Structure 1
Amino acid sequence: MSLLLIAMILVLLIPLYDAWKNDNIWQKMLAFASISTKTAILILFISVLRDDWAIGIVGAIVLTVGNAALMLLANIIKRMNET
């Protein structure tokens, strides 16, 4: 099981490298949305392993609210560039 957690953390680092390498703001936001989703899945996985519903609720909130905040930020940046 620890090997699976290590593999999940290594997969989480791929978008970080892409965000560090790229200067395009939309590519960075896409990478951070990917990080948010993967982190929430990792939290849900750990909550199932520990059989802890409180951690699972936090993972579900991060999964739903985290990406919504990024989409709001993307719309604000888009509208600022239009004017």
Structure 2
Amino acid sequence: MIAKNPLYIPWFILLGLVLTWGSSFILIKYGLESFGGDSSIVGALRIVITFIVLIPPALMRLRRVKRKHWIILAIVGVISNGAPAILYAYA
């Protein structure tokens, strides 16, 4: 009998998260070097790439969100995702 949730799956998910999180700082450094140190371009590119990757699953789940929560979610998204993307590049 095959288990529904083998023990190694969470470890692979954690490994993927660690690699993604850790590599972002290295990629920011290389991005700054290749764009001549303009941190606003690197921050904007991070936001655009993230938007392109995350918009399909977000649109699929959009029907579940009540209309009155959209503005709050947009503000939280900009503050929690947009600001750090630009500030990391400045650091």
TM-score normalised per structure 1: 0.36
Q: More helix per residue: 1 or 2?
A: 1
TM-score (norm 2): 0.34
In our comparison, the structure showing a higher alpha carbon Rg is 2
